[in-house]
Amino acid sequence: MSMTNAYDSYRALHIITRPGVGTAGVVLQQQNLEFKRLYIESPVLIFVEKGMKAVRWPGGEYLIRAGEAIVVAGGQSLDITNKLAEDGSYRAQWLAWDETLIALCAESNLDLPAIKHALPMRSDTADFAVSLHRAIQAVEDSTIPTMIARHRLQELLVWIGVNGGRLEQSGALTMAVKVRRLIGKDLASEWSAEAVASSFAMSEATMRRRLAEEGTNLSNLLIDARMSFALQLLQSTAQPVMQIALSVGYQTPSQFAVRFRDRFGFPPTAIRGHRRAALI
Q: What digits encode the pLDDT tens for the residues 114-125?
A: 999 999 998 777
Res 2: pLDDT:
43
What CATH superfamily is the domain 175-276? Homeodomain-like (1.10.10.60)
pLDDT at 168: 85
User: What stretch(es) of the chain map to CATH 1.10.10.60?
Assistant: 175-276
pLDDT tens digit sequence for 30-40? 899 999 999 99
The average pLDDT across 145-166 equals 96
246-277: per-residue pLDDT in tens? Answer: 999 999 999 999 999 999 999 999 998 744 43
> With 90 as the cut, is the pLDDT of residue 109 above it?
no
Average pLDDT score, the chain: 90
Model pTM? 0.89
pLDDT at 22 over 90: yes
Highest mean pLDDT among 9-13, 106-110, 126-130, 153-157: 153-157
Averaged over 157-170, what is the pLDDT?
90
- Give me the pLDDT at residue 210, please: 96
Question: 230 and 255 in contact (C-beta within 8 Å)?
Answer: no
Q: Tens digits of per-residue pLDDT, 42-51?
A: 999 999 999 9
CB 249 within 8 A of CB 183: no
Share of the chain above pLDDT 70, in %: 92
pLDDT in tens, 180-202: 999 999 999 999 999 999 999 99
> Of all residues in the chain, what percent are helix, strand and coil, respectively (each to 5)?
45, 25, 35
Section 94-98 average pLDDT: 97
237 has pLDDT over 80: yes
How far, in Å, CA of 269 to CA of 257, rounded?
A: 9
**183 within 8 A of 228, measured Cβ to Cβ:** no
Q: Is pLDDT above 70 for 73?
A: yes
3-state secondary structure string, 149-185?
A: HHHHHHHHHHHHHHCCCECCCCCCCCHHHHHHHHHHC
Delimiting residues of CATH 2.60.120.280 domain(s) in the chain? 3-162
pLDDT of residue 106: 86
CATH architecture of the domain 3-162 equals: Sandwich (2.60)
pLDDT of residue 13: 74
What's the whole-number mean pLDDT along residues 210-216? 96
Answer yes or no: is pLDDT of 280 > 60. no
